[in-house]
Chain A
Amino acid sequence: EAAVTQSPRNKVAVTGGKVTLSCNQTNNHNNMYWYRQDTGHGLRLIHYSYGAGSTEKGDIPDGYKASRPSQENFSLILELATPSQTSVYFCASGDAQSTEVFFGKGTRLTVV
């Protein structure tokens, strides 16, 4: 089964600080995704990538940057964290030929 590892699993950040969430996948998937999960909103797409060096804006990209330095790694960056970015963040990966995506265990971010 596809392995997607997120770090850290929990993070407390201060308002205005910089936060980097990391994701690593070991199955050579081309596509990677960052979602946030909030009650009542389900999973909302922040950024995605279809290969090393590429990043695309999802449905709610404001306040977030993404970086895909390699096939395996995809980071989500909050340059100036705000309390409204308190959420659970999920990274996922998928093969270009398949439509299934595989999720990590999530990162719980609290911005105080």
Chain B
Amino acid sequence: QQKVQQSPESLSVPEGGMASFNCTSSDRNFQYFWWYRQHSGEGPKALMSIFSDGDKKEGRFTAHLNKASLHVSLHIRDSQPSDSALYFCAARAGGYKVVFGSGTRLLVSP
């Protein structure tokens, strides 16, 4: 069974702080990685993708991928209370199957 392990389970940061999430996959066939965000009572929504080694920055969000170590991370700078949500990493190999991590719950305190 393909797996994506995510850490930490939960995270609390002050407003304006940096939040960081990590995922490690178990399958070298994974080629495509996404970060999703889920607010309470809603379905997850895609936040950003990363397919190549290195960093990808979109506004306050930076994703990092290291395919050699099968590690992907997400960093949110200047965190806002509206960033409080459940964050998932997702991975896909060459086929149609998309596998999600167990999620990290972020709480940003004013």
Contact = CB atoms under 8 A, between A and B. Distances in A.
Interface of A: 4, 31, 33, 35, 40-45, 48, 50, 56, 58-59, 90, 92, 94, 96, 99-106
Q: How large is the interface on B (under 10, 10 to 19, 20 to 34, 35 or more residues)?
A: 20 to 34
B101 A42 contact: yes
Interface string B39-51: 0011111100101
B100 interface: yes
The main secondary structure of chain A at its interface with chain B is strand
Interface of B: 1-2, 6, 9, 32, 34, 41-46, 49, 51, 88, 90, 92, 96-103
Nearest to B101: A42
A31 B99 CA distance: 14
A38 B98 CA distance: 17
